[in-house]
Amino acid sequence: MLSLSIVTPTYNRKKVISRSIDSSIELVEKGFAKNIIIVDDASTDGTFNFISNKYEKLINTQVLLIFRLDENSGVNKAKNIGVKMSQCEWIAFMDSDDYFLPEAGPSIAKELKSKNNYGVFFFRCLNIKTGCLIGERCDANIITFKQVLNDGIPGECLPVIKKKIMLKFPYNEVLKGCEGITHLKILKNGVLAFLSNKIVRGYDDSGEDRLCSKQSIMKRSKEMLQCNIFHLRYIAYASPRKVIGIIARIVYYSYLFIFRR
């Protein structure tokens, strides 16, 4: 069995989370993951009780571990707790409204086993509404700190990261999202990252409560401002276009925070 834990933070996703959990269970049953770790970020819609009742047998056998925060603290804290709960070498971070595609298990296992010198993998995602790859199509290859800083990763990718790396570089709990800041820090410290061309996740962008939705970004203007300020520490490595982008976003989110909150 692959030494992989699937960490899924969730908040008020009672109506859709079964799709995500069921796809993760399939990976466990086929030997491509050891367990599933759900961290409920103080949901108010009964998500925790729903999971506890529906998946009671899997919880009793510790195939599924579930933990509930007492207060809503954000996805980064939830992910960090999930990492600490894992006993596996690898962590796959799955969103609670997304799901693994049928060939995800073999694809992930093949990459992890054949490229064990890498500490971070980014796997591609499919938009479940359009059926299209998210982001531009590109060859599988190493992806460097400067590439991620200046161009980002193509579209939404599923990160799979060694536990020991996440313990050393946990997600920034000051921010409730913006996990890319941590990915940059990991790569800046010399960890090798691989961009796979394997499509393993179905991505659902329909929810207005997603952190990347326009509505959420408006509400999170202070946090988005902080996120871009964090990028300033890497400005010496940024391209002119990236520098202009960072400054423009700082101005934009400053405006939203001051005048539109």
What pLDDT does residue 260 have? 65
What pLDDT does residue 210 have? 52
What pLDDT does residue 261 have? 58
User: What is the Rg, in whole angstroms, of the alpha carbon atoms belonging to the chain?
Assistant: 18
What pLDDT does residue 207 have? 62
Task: Report d(CA 212, CA 146) in Å as an integer.
Answer: 23
Task: Report d(CA 27, CA 20) in Å as an integer.
Answer: 11
pTM: 0.93
pLDDT averaged over 10-residue windows placed end to end, the chain, 261 residues: 96 97 98 98 98 98 97 96 98 97 97 96 96 95 97 94 98 90 97 98 77 59 91 96 96 86 58
Angle in degrees, CA 168, 166, 12, rounded to 5: 135
Task: Report d(CA 38, CA 41) in Å as an integer.
Answer: 9
Q: Are strands 90-93 and 99-100 parallel, antiparallel or unpaired?
A: unpaired
Task: Report d(CA 32, CA 152) in Å as an integer.
Answer: 28
- Helix pair angle (221-231, 180-188), 10° resolution: 10
Task: Report d(CA 20, CA 22) in Å as an integer.
Answer: 6
What pLDDT does residue 135 have? 95
* Lookup result for tokens 């770790």: 37
| CA–CA distances in Å: residue 85 to residues 105, 197, 206 | 22, 29, 30
What pLDDT does residue 85 have? 98
Strands (E) across the chain are located at: 4-10, 35-40, 64-68, 90-93, 99-100, 120-127, 141-142, 158-162, 193-203
What pLDDT does residue 222 have? 86
Helices (H) and strands (E) in the chain, counts: 11, 9
| CA–CA distances in Å: residue 223 to residues 76, 142, 169, 190, 226 | 13, 30, 20, 27, 5
Q: Would you tell me how many other CB atoms lie within 10 Å of the CB of residue 31?
A: 12
Angle in degrees, CA 11, 132, 75, rounded to 5: 20
Q: Are strands 99-100 and 193-203 parallel, antiparallel or unpaired?
A: antiparallel
